[in-house]
Amino acid sequence: MGLTKSSTGLNILQEKFNVDVSSNQPVIALAGNPNTGKSTVFNALTGLNQHTGNWPGKTVLQAQGMYSHQNINYKLVDLPGTYSLLANSSEEEVARDFLYFGSPDVTVVVVDATVLERNLNLAYQIMEITPKVIICLNLLDEAKRKKININIPMLQDKLGVPVIPTVARDGFGLLELKDKIAQMVQGKAITNPQLVKYDEDIEEIINSLVPKMRSVYGEKENLRWLALKLIDGDQEIFNKLASKE
Ligand X SMILES: Nc1nc2c(ncn2[C@@H]2O[C@H](COP(=O)(O)OP(=O)(O)OP(=O)(O)O)[C@@H](O)[C@H]2O)c(=O)[nH]1
Minimum CB–partner distance for residue 223 and ligand X (Å)? 31
* Dist CA 104 CA 124 (whole Å): 17
Q: Distances from the Cα of 232 to the Cαs of 70, 135, 237, 241, in angstroms?
A: 43, 26, 11, 16
Determine the Cα–Cα distance for residues 51 and 160; give it in Å rounded to an integer.
33
- Note the residues at the interface with Mg ion (CB under 5 A): 38-39
Distance of closest approach, residue 27 Cβ to ligand X, in angstroms = 18
Q: Which of 26, 32, 165, 193 binds ligand X (CB under 6 A)?
A: 32
From candidates 27, 28, 29, 36, binder to ligand X by CB under 6 A? 36
The distance of closest approach from Cβ of residue 2 to ligand X in the complex, given in angstroms and rounded to an integer, is 31
139 lies in the site for ligand X, by CB under 6 A: yes
By CB under 6 A, is residue 35 in contact with ligand X?
Answer: yes
Position 84 contacts ligand X (CB under 6 A): no
For residue 232, how far is the Cα from the chain centroid?
21
Q: Taking the complex as a whole, how short is the minimal distance between the CB of residue 169 and ligand X, in angstroms?
A: 4
* Among 69, 169, 224, 240, contact with ligand X (rule: CB under 6 A): 169
- Quote the CA–CA distance of 98 and 100 in Å, as a whole number: 6
Residue 125 interacts with which of ligand X, Mg ion, none, CB < 5 to 8 Å by class? none
